[in-house]
């Protein structure tokens, strides 16, 4: 590992910790040239499936878009960041365990709705009302009755 301070190629691992929940390895390193310390994080590289839009376009899975959708639905709701992170991880785990090379947006939307339903009913209704693009008030009423 190259030192970010002096660029020296030789660094020594001083301490290694494994994160139980996310599988990330945290390493404290020391540069043998300038003696400065820094931290590196190692995580497995995974390949998420392509997302197939309604119009047939294929785009790369973007975790930032998933997080933004959850954040928008949960805006001003009493749900902590840790809970959102856990929901995001569960959705991504499901995407990976599908083993598919492509996933349609409706399937991804259903995974998001399932997680929102567990986290916060109001956020679930918010997301579902936009995601399912209700035509009239009866569709909305049906969803609210389902949540109750």
Q: What is the mean pLDDT of residues 113-121?
A: 90
Give the dihedral sign, CA 116/119/125/130.
Answer: negative
Compare 106 and 139 and report the one with higher pLDDT. 106
The pLDDT confidence band at residue 5, using thresholds 50, 70 and 90, is: very high
Q: What is the pTM of this model?
A: 0.63
d(CA 88, CA 86): 5
The pLDDT confidence band at residue 138, using thresholds 50, 70 and 90, is: confident
For residue 115, the model assigns a pLDDT of 93
Helix or strand holding residue 41 (H, E): strand 37-42
Residue located via tokens 């878009």: 65
Q: What is the mean pLDDT of residues 83-93?
A: 91
Q: What is the mean pLDDT of residues 81-96?
A: 91
Contacts of residues 131-136 at CB distance under 8 Å and 24 or more positions apart, as own/partner, are: none
Compare 131 and 25 and report the one with higher pLDDT. 25
For residue 135, the model assigns a pLDDT of 72
For residue 21, the model assigns a pLDDT of 66
Q: What is the pLDDT of residues 50-80, one digit of tens each?
A: 999 999 999 999 999 999 999 999 999 998 8
């Amino acid at each position: 590992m190259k030192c970010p301070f002096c660029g020296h190629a030789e660094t020594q691992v001083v301490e290694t910790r494994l994160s139980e929940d996310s599988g990330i390895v945290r390493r404290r390193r020391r540069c043998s040239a300038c003696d400065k310390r820094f931290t590196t994080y190692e995580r497995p590289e995974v390949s998420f499936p392509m997302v197939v839009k309604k119009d047939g376009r294929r785009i790369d899975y973007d975790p930032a878009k998933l997080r933004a959708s959850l954040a928008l639905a949960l805006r001003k709701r009493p749900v902590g960041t840790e809970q959102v992170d856990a929901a995001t991880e569960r959705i991504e785990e499901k995407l990976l365990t599908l083993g598919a090379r492509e996933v349609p947006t409706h399937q991804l939307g259903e995974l998001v709705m399932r997680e929102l339903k567990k986290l916060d009913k109001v956020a679930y209704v918010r997301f579902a009302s936009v995601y399912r693009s209700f035509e009239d008030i009866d569709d909305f009423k049906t969803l609210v009755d389902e949540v109750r």
